[in-house]
Structure 1
Amino acid sequence: MENNVRQRAEEPAPITRRTLHDEIVTRVRDMIIEGRLAPGTRIHEGQLGQALGVSRTPLREALKFLASEGLIDLVPSRGAVVRRFTEKDVRDMLEVLAALEALAGRLACIHATDEEIAELRALHEAMIAQYAARNRLEYFKLNQRIHSAFALMSRNAVLVATHDNIQARLKRIRFLGNETPEKWQSSIAEHEEMVAALERRDADALADVLARHMHNAWERIRSVI
């Protein structure tokens, strides 16, 4: 099963044109995050293109982009394969993210504008609404936007680029961290602490909860890797 696109009762609806490249990237990325394209899966371009209602050329460009994000490997003679990370890969990346986000939190307390902090609070409330609706995918996307926002508020371009690179690679793994109600609730509580600390511009508290959140992420996902 891992070597084929997982079939479900509900087939993906054909894509309607907006920005075709972005649409395809988003749809395939979501399939990877949700596990419909499992780690180690070889992506059959014809089958996937037919399901999405697109030709092979734009699909191949989308797969190249996802390879640049670290979600797919382009393997000679096999084509595109969903990347499989080892336990050590994941732990190493989370350790780096913990350090990056702690630094981002300290810098955000210095550089963030009041408007940016209010926008982050609004993102958090929107995420809570998705949590209440038990919409895991939309919740997760907002969750990732919040973590990216902390990096952006650091005003450090190198930090942002490094953070974006690692966060992209961990999307599927991080999504698995909310599989049980207890794990999901603990993540929500930590996000509440983050926003409150930023609103107080308490750099020590924000750095602590961001680092702790990443260390706890490892505990939430280690059993499913």
Structure 2
Amino acid sequence: MKNTIQSEVATSASPAIPKLERLRLHDTVVEHLRNLIVEAVLVPGVKLNERELCETLGISRTPLREAMKVLAAEGLIDISPNRGASVSTLSEAEIWETFEFMSGLEAFSGELACERITPIEIAEIKALHYAMLACKAQNDLPGYYTRNQEIHDKINEAARNTVLRQTYLSVNRRLKALRFKSNFQAKKWDEAVHEHDDMIQALEARDGARLSAILRLHLLRKRDAVLSNPVVQTKISTE
């Protein structure tokens, strides 16, 4: 009886401490491999050697294979039972059509965002814009691209439409590497910066029609830059 009472007292005196959530290793691997694909370290069509990747990343095959499944679901890599894994390629027609579709999603996001965005969200986007310009001045394309994508993402979030959000994220995963490559040419990069200046002005004015038109043209010009770039052209699937 005495032991029971002591046990109850000890239990009541001990606070319920939740266990810490462990960051899943494959999540880190997913992010790392995704960045390597986006930044063209791993180019379209290249085969992914599991042994070499495990040695380079210092991991076992289990988290690597889990990460590959995620990237395959996102359309970034292809996994074949007989040929292994390789970075996905898009045909010229697929690039054309996907950018065309994405331009519509971006345009609709801009239209809705102008109706629903908060002053705080506009301030956050402007801060990202200035940080993006600083990266451009330093010729830091990865830093520029990261902030660029955050701007587009925040505009999409500000649209407050769950279906639009889910579709946008799914399609954009397949285009991230190509959007990064669209600024390989200095002239195209300069044009993209001017278009972002116009986006900020339209957003501040809450001019949905103007922002919608800017975003649509912005994405179509990215498509044209990708398809006209000889460096990118050599990586486009001819299948």
Q: TM-score, normalised by structure 2?
A: 0.83
* Aligned equivalent of 1:52: 57
Distance 1:143 1:167 in 2: 13
Q: Deviations over 1:61-92 (max 9, x none)?
A: 11111112211111121222110001110110
1:143 to 145, 148, 152: 148
Q: Where in structure 1 do 4 or more consecutive aligned residues deviate above 3 Å? A: none
Aligned pair 1:129/2:134, yes or no? yes
Alignment of 1:59-208 (within 5 A): 59-208=64-213
Distance 1:54 1:112 in 2: 43
Deviation at 1:21, TM superposition (A): 2.6
Deviation at 1:173, TM superposition (A): 1.2
* Aligned equivalent of 1:7: none
Identity of aligned residues (%): 42
Distance 1:69 1:129 in 2: 31
Deviation at 1:202, TM superposition (A): 0.7
3-state secondary structure, aligned to 1:170: helix
Distance 2:31 2:138 in 1: 22
Distance 2:150 2:100 in 1: 20
* Equivalent pairs, count: 209
Distance 2:67 2:206 in 1: 40
**Deviation larger for 20-29 or 198-207:** 20-29
Distance 1:199 1:126 in 2: 18
**Deviation larger for 42-51 or 129-138:** 129-138
3-state secondary structure, aligned to 2:31: helix
Q: Deviations over 1:129-172 (max 9, x none)?
A: 11112111121122112111111111111111111111110111
Deviation at 1:20, TM superposition (A): 2.7
Q: Extract unaligned runs of 5+ from structure 2.
A: 1-21, 234-239
* Aligned equivalent of 1:3: none
Q: Deviations over 1:89-128 (max 9, x none)?
A: 0110111111111111110011111111111111111111
Q: CA RMSD in A?
A: 1.4
Structure 2 counterpart of 1:198, which letter?
A: L
3-state secondary structure, aligned to 2:85: strand
Q: TM-score, normalised by structure 1?
A: 0.88
Deviation at 1:191, TM superposition (A): 0.8
Deviation at 1:23, TM superposition (A): 2.3
* Aligned equivalent of 1:8: none
Distance 2:67 2:146 in 1: 19
Structure 1 counterpart of 2:33, which letter?
A: V
Distance 1:49 1:135 in 2: 29
Distance 1:69 1:145 in 2: 19
Higher relative contact order (CA 8 A, sep 6+): 2
